[in-house]
Amino acid sequence: MSLAPNPFNLSGGVVKAAAAAAPVANPVSAPQAPTAPIDVLKNKLDEMGINSSGLQFTETRTAVGYPGGFYVNHLITVDFGAGVTESYDVASTLRNPLLTALEIDRLRRSRA
């Protein structure tokens, strides 16, 4: 039995798969991105050059009941000082931390 010529191999032989690359002895891994909501938000503030050292961050989960069930409010509350606080939804913050960081910056600037 004869093999049909391989149109991709000009020598007419059987094409062999390339050998797999040898594993790297000491792979360098990228630093892990933070997953805690407050850390994600603080990192975004730092990237934007916004000083968050004067702000207090608190993560809360509150069960809210209603007839037939309940849901959980998962929030990051930021205390700006002088009795000014604002709460941000964790799911929205994790989806796009830039929006929350911009809102924090807007509120911080409006108090200056």
Tens-digit pLDDT profile for residues 60-77: 999 999 999 999 999 999
15 pLDDT above the threshold of 50: no
Rounded to the nearest 5 degrees, what angle is found at the Cα of 101, between the Cα atoms of 106 and 82? 55
- Residue 84: phi and psi, rounded to 5, are -95, 120
Using alpha carbons, select from 69, 68, 103, 106 the residue that is nearest to residue 89.
103
> Which of these ranges, 18-22, 41-45, 82-86, 97-101, has the smallest mean pLDDT?
18-22
